[in-house]
Structure 1
Amino acid sequence: MMATKRKVARKVSTRKKIAGAPALVQVAENTDDVQRRLKVLCDTSKPIEVRMAALQSLGAAAFSVANFESVNADYIAALREVSTDSHEQLRRRALGILTRNKDGFAQKKLLNGLKDPAKALLPPEKALQLLGNDVHTEAYSVARAIVKKPPNQEARREALRLLAADAKSAPLFEKVLRDKKELRENRQLAASALHSLNPEKLQQQALKILKDKSDYADIKATSLAALEQFGDDAALGKDKALMQSVNRFNSSKTPAKYKQTARRFLSKYGQ
């Protein structure tokens, strides 16, 4: 009797639950389990909670089940199927997994939705986030179009984030950085992008921003940091207009955290 109980206990212990998952989520133990969960995932008659649990279980199985490669094609096919499901949460999760695996089907669906909202599977900002998992040239052109004519500010910001890896977008980021009508978050994002794409252009724009009395303290602090990192020490030290601007910035009603940047800059250049 005791031996039977121990045997049952061992069997139950192998059916480990995924950490943080609902009770109905069990880790698949073999490829037969995987196939059963694939059927549940694609069964639109099942409650969405059950289908989401199946998807979570499959995600874990991809790393834990031996010979998962033999069912991987079925897994990808199921993900593609549910990527057009009526439930947005399920679509988003499936498309996220597909794009992380650099799936061309998913990328095409997302790009088509950005070009034609009637075909969109996700809101534009979410689609842009997922496209960032596997960026291709076409995604850059679509993102630039969204920056020019955004459906909303969130989508514009995500488009800028995606373009931060596109060397051809450096002129766009220069324009965004200098535009005081832009959202400050976008200007900071532009500075970060130029930091990677074209540090010399960032330095040039930073000089202009610091000499502009009407620009914002946080943008000026970012500009100071850029000059400190990339600037020509000799040239900066001789730039009287720049030093006057930084001194003025340091002595004005600037928040203390930004004044620290100004003091460090002035100390470095012997002022």
Structure 2
Amino acid sequence: MNVKAYRQQIESQLRTRNEPKAQATAAPVDSNPEANWVQALERIVDTSLDPADRRGALQIAQAASFLTPQFAPLHAKYLDVLRRLATDADGELRRMALDALSNQKDDFARQKLTEGLRGLGETLVAPAVALGFLARDDHGSAHDIARDLLKESADVPVREQAVRVLGAAPAAKSLLDAVMRDKKEFRQVRRASAVALRALDPQMFEQGARDILNDSSDFRDIKATVGGALQRATVSLSALPSSPRQPPAKKSRSRRRP
């Protein structure tokens, strides 16, 4: 059974489960879906198959995992398969597996992601992706790692993701404010920090935004970001002194401190 056909079967099962009166006219479903699920789990870990076929089998298993309690007897095996895939040679399978495991706050996934970000193990997915997965966990380890990455990493996507993660850490308000104000920081990171700080502490964001708008040497795009956020929050900008006319913003990106 291919992925498209199986998705249709899953949708039909969900529809008939939620609408009993429609059972008489619902599309026929496989009388033994468990056999298909077992076959899918076996195909996922079969490295002799084309990676695309294995990914299709994983999609089948992922769809089936939402059919509780029908899938419950295979749930433990499904998790074991995902953990095996987390270190698979195929990068997309690794990403899909770690994505699914992170949604379930799996200890194995958390350990592997943390080791990769700390430089203590293999980097299984891109650091920015790993940090995003790790942030789904209730544990605070992602906040500590995000702080460290802001100190150590010069990679723009990593720094952007780090400030987004810290947007859920009340203790990081001052750090986000400093990043938002830092004219030597990557401008993409400053904008992400502004968004995170606005959600975390509107008052601190407002003060920082006003200071940026009053700074004649700051970048126009940053001013547009913080000014637009203030206006959307219905904060009056009339009290701000007018800034002197600025030359056009340079095309080159600002860099953070070495």
Normalised-by-shorter TM-score class: 0.7 to 0.9
SS at match of 1:46: coil
| Separation in 1, partners of 2:77, 2:83 | 10
How big is the shift at 1:46? 2.4
1:16 paired to 2:14:
no
Give unpaired runs (5+ residues) of structure 1. 1-11, 20-26, 256-271
How big is the shift at 1:153? 2.0
| Separation in 1, partners of 2:98, 2:148 | 22
TM-score by length of 1: 0.74
Give unpaired runs (5+ residues) of structure 2. 9-28, 250-258
Call closer, same or farther: CA 1:151–1:73 in 2, change over 3 Å: farther
> Is the CA contact 2:86–2:95 (under 8 Å) kept in the aligned structure 1?
yes
| Separation in 2, partners of 1:142, 1:178 | 22
> Is the CA contact 2:44–2:55 (under 8 Å) kept in the aligned structure 1?
yes
Letter in 2 for 1:244: S
Q: Which has the higher contact order (CA 8 A, sep 6+)?
A: 2
TM-score by length of 2: 0.77
Larger-Rg structure: 1
Q: How does 1:1-271 map to 2 (within 5 A)?
A: 16-18=5-7, 30-64=33-67, 67-116=70-119, 118-150=121-153, 152-228=155-231, 229=233, 231=235, 239=239, 242-245=240-243
Provide, for residues 46-65 of structure 1, a one-character-per-residue CA deviation record: whole Å limited to 9, x for no partner: 22222112101111222357
How big is the shift at 1:230? 6.8
How big is the shift at 1:111? 0.8
Call closer, same or farther: CA 1:151–1:111 in 2, change over 3 Å: farther
**More helix as a share of residues:** 1
CA RMSD of aligned residues (A): 2.8
How big is the shift at 1:17? 4.5
SS at match of 1:144: helix
| Separation in 2, partners of 1:83, 1:171 | 36
Q: Match for residue 261 of structure 1?
A: none
> Is the CA contact 2:116–2:124 (under 8 Å) kept in the aligned structure 1?
yes
SS at match of 1:215: coil
Q: Match for residue 263 of structure 1?
A: none
Call closer, same or farther: CA 1:155–1:135 in 2, change over 3 Å: farther
Letter in 1 for 2:5: K
Aligned residue pairs total 226
